[in-house]
Structure 1
Amino acid sequence: MRNLFPGLCAVLALLLGGPARAEPTLRVGATATGLPFTFLDTKTNTIQGVMVDLVTEVGRQAGFSVAVEPLQFSTLIPALTASKIDIISAAMFITAPRKEIVAFSEPVYSYGEGLIVPKADARDYASFADLKGETVGAQVGTAFVEPLKKSGLFAEVKIYDTIPDIIRDVNAGRLKAGFADAPILAYYVKQGLFPGVRIVETLKPAVVASVGISVRKADADLLGRIDAALAKLKADGTVQKILTKWGLPPSADRS
């Protein structure tokens, strides 16, 4: 019996208090140029921002850790469907066409398009129609491209890889106006890096939608855990703390 006792203790230890399983690490796709949602922090050489903080907190609640990988916005969904990443956490609108390809969490934050023009241009633009006949810019893969093109109002809708590229051309006088995510435009302009541009405060957004976290359609269990974590983080004030930390204005929710 004396010889059996240590073995029994070992079995009981495994059954009752064995070592916990390590949390899985999921690959998260994000962009390096989406201030304040996702951006490359050159001091740490890591992707930071609202959606990084959020997915990290969601992971803590849902039982996974995250490894954030920088990708161009237009490559995020292809990377997810090809299983090169497991989650997208970026400034990506929940839209009907995207929902046909990937699954989205409950909404996190809502806003519409913003407009920048050269600072010397003092006109109070309110809609697309006020820029009729002009050449404007938008970022590839965003929800703003099709409405701009379908309006038929513009001489040309130039497509750019990143939002800073749009701002740079407006700043240099190479582009009449640029449309992009309003909070991202506001954040860049606030930094003072592009002194030759201004945000058009009078614009009434034509495209207002919500940002969410996305996963593959087959990952229903993961999506359920993400939504449960988001609900808890909204209820305990964590989501609002993250939004406040990064200086985001109130959500432009249409409800």
Structure 2
Amino acid sequence: MKKIKGIVLAMGVVLLLAACGNGKSNSSAAEGDLLKSLQDKGVVKVGFANEKPYAYEEDGELKGGAVAIATAVFENLGIEKVDGHLSDFSQLIPGLGAEKFDVITAGMAITPDRCENVAFGEPEMQYGEGLIVKSGNPKDLRSYKDIAANPDIKVAVMSGATEKDFMLREGISEKQIMMVPDIPASFAAVESRRADATTGTEMTIKMALESANKDKLEFVDNFEQPEIEGVPSYGAAAFRIADDELREAYNAELKKLKEDGKIAELIEPYGFTEELNVVDLDLTTESICNGDNY
């Protein structure tokens, strides 16, 4: 009797282990091909960072450079509707992993660390860094090194953004960095004198300043770009690592748009330019993840 119970118990353990697998969520694979499922439904759930000019809402409609590219690619894949959801930048990758989104995109920079957690599509656009200070630039800040040289200076930066790592590598200490949830909060920190400056991608903070209190804030036109790995940054859509077929199909349609010169047409209405923001055709995500292009 004990032997039979032991066999039953052992079989139960085997079945339990088989059901649990390796503990990683992969429901899209379990349900079948995600790409075909999205094409059948005609809808794809896309997470966008609420970051103008990449993605933002205006008159109830989602707009922005990242929105325009994603919409064009998915339309060419036979997926007519992009069900877009604006989110805090720091919540995009967790939301993708939790299957809240099928894909995320917002000019998200491809970095080696992020490449370990998500599978990036090929690069869609490039951009540099920017700095906003109090009107008149009383501290004469024109680079990250200027901030590092004065330990009393505080700089606000959006949580989850790559700028924190850039600043640390330029010698700015953790004590000088104030983490805030979004761009408006970073502006508020400078306006209230809790911070001396805020930084972010050049296009994002420059566009955001247009709707902020220009009398109190100033964009540093002659900001010196840091000469470090990761600058310029290259933005791309990101997928779950298991969703190879969806990513490859997305890349194939993206390549066509690049070769036809359509990317510039899609992003220029939002303030981007072909000269500054369109990536070279031969640049690959693999080279960026490996750090080969810096």
TM-score normalised by L of structure 1: 0.83
Q: Secondary structure at the match of 2:57?
A: strand
Distance in 2, Cα, partners of 1:197 & 1:126: 14
For the 8 Å contact 1:38–1:48, the answer to whether it is kept is yes
Task: Name the residue aligned to 1:96.
Answer: 112
Task: Name the residue aligned to 1:142.
Answer: 161
CA RMSD of aligned residues (A): 2.1
Matches within 5 A, 1:1-255: 22-32=40-50, 34-41=51-58, 43-44=59-60, 46-64=61-79, 65-121=81-137, 125-131=141-147, 132=149, 133=151, 134-154=153-173, 155-191=175-211, 193-206=213-226, 207-249=231-273, 250-251=275-276
Q: Secondary structure at the match of 1:251?
A: helix
Distance in 2, Cα, partners of 1:205 & 1:220: 35
Distance in 1, Cα, partners of 2:213 & 2:272: 19
By percentage of residues, which structure has more strand?
1
**Deviation of 1:217 (Å):** 0.8
**Deviation of 1:174 (Å):** 2.7
Distance in 1, Cα, partners of 2:167 & 2:257: 36
Query: Identity, % of aligned pairs?
Result: 27
**Deviation of 1:220 (Å):** 0.8
**Deviation of 1:67 (Å):** 0.5
For the 8 Å contact 2:64–2:267, the answer to whether it is kept is no
Q: Secondary structure at the match of 2:190?
A: helix
Q: Which amino acid aligns with 1:184?
A: T
Q: Deviations over 1:131-157 (max 9, x none)?
A: 231111111001111232354434420
Distance in 2, Cα, partners of 1:140 & 1:192: 20
Q: Secondary structure at the match of 1:173?
A: coil
Distance in 1, Cα, partners of 2:172 & 2:83: 43
For the 8 Å contact 2:45–2:84, the answer to whether it is kept is yes
List gaps (5 residues or longer) in structure 2.
1-38, 281-292
Q: Deviations over 1:143-185 (max 9, x none)?
A: 1112323544344200011012112222333310111111001
Distance in 1, Cα, partners of 2:57 & 2:208: 13
Distance in 2, Cα, partners of 1:121 & 1:193: 15
